[in-house]
Amino acid sequence: MSLPVRVGTLLVAFLAVVGGVIFVVIHFLLAGPPVVDYAAGVAPGQPVSIMLQEDPQNTVSNHPDWVSYFIKDPKTGAWVHTTLFQVPAGSRVNVTILGYDGCTPLRNPFWGMVTGTIGGVEDVNGSPVSVLNSWASCSVGHTFSIPGIGLNVPVASPTTLSANKNVCGLSPCTSGPHTTVTFSFNAPKSDGDYFWQCRVPCGLGYLDGFGGPMQTIGFMTGQMEVVS
């Protein structure tokens, strides 16, 4: 093999490896869901209102059978398929979650207790609730839990058989049986990232429901970024 051919082969092989590394970095390591910014234009300490919905599936990703949260962009009003959001430090965060998914019992009913909210309650369709017993009735779809600040809110689900059989089939959901859950909590006063998660084993197709969307940012877990 002549020298130019050997050099050319080496060069092609080198470029292939470099290209592969760049692809992996960009496609897998740097790619991620967008961050919905609720802190823009809001002074630290001022209240913000954020809105989420949890869907029984999503039709906007390559995992259509995974349950998923969506977050409403305050600027455009559009639902964004992400679980990352920013809030101002020290602010009162007013949260509304639209629970479009049917009920699934909590693995540990302890998480049926509301903790970390202002007043220690959530409002389910306008009625204050401090505990939801997902083992006694069809009542909980998922949870919204931020362990770092002691926040745990069981998100109520539609309760009847017909509602559970006719859950919304197109994401983000705009119609169909759902509950409206509202609550407030105080964001930490200093900057930081706080992960949040669902505690219902809702990973369809994974061992005992503990994988898939439960372990994937953009679906049933994410981060609250506190910024000042």
Contact (Cβ atoms closer than 8 angstroms) between residue 144 and residue 112? no
* 228 touching other proteins, by CB under 8 A: no
Q: What value does the CA radius of gyration of the chain take, rounded to a whole number of Å?
A: 21
Provide, rounded to whole angstroms, the least separation between the CB of residue 20 and other proteins.
25
**Which residue bears the tokens 């994974």?**
206
**Which residue bears the tokens 């981060």?**
223
Q: How far is CA 29 from the centre of its chain?
A: 19
Provide, rounded to whole angstroms, the least separation between the CB of residue 218 and other proteins.
12
- Binding span for other proteins by CB under 8 A among 22-30, 70-78, 85-93, 204-212: 204-212
Contact positions with other proteins (CB under 8 A) in 89-118: 102-105, 107-110, 112-113
Q: Any idea what DSSP says for residue 187? A: P
User: Rounded to whole angstroms, how far apart are CA atoms 34 and 176?
Assistant: 26
Question: Exposed e or buried b for every residue in 43-71, given b needs 16+ CB within 10 A?
Answer: ebeeebebbbbbbbbbeebebeebbbbbb
Closest C-alpha to 227, from 42, 73, 80: 42
- Binding span for other proteins by CB under 8 A among 11-19, 36-44, 73-81, 160-168: 160-168
* 136 touching other proteins, by CB under 8 A: yes
Would you say 95 or 167 has its CB closer to other proteins?
167
Would you say 52 or 220 has its CB closer to other proteins?
220
- Binding-site size for other proteins (CB under 8 A) equals 43
Q: What share of the chain is helix, strand, coil (3-state, %, to 5)?
A: 20, 35, 45
Provide, rounded to whole angstroms, the least separation between the CB of residue 132 and other proteins.
9
Would you say 74 or 218 has its CB closer to other proteins?
218
Among 22, 150, 170, 189, binds other proteins (CB under 8 A): 150
Residue type, 50: I
* 170 touching other proteins, by CB under 8 A: no
Task: Summarize as ranges the residues that interact with other proteins (CB under 8 A).
Answer: 65, 102-105, 107-110, 112-113, 130-131, 133, 135-138, 147-148, 150, 161, 164-165, 167, 195, 197, 199, 201-210, 214-217, 221
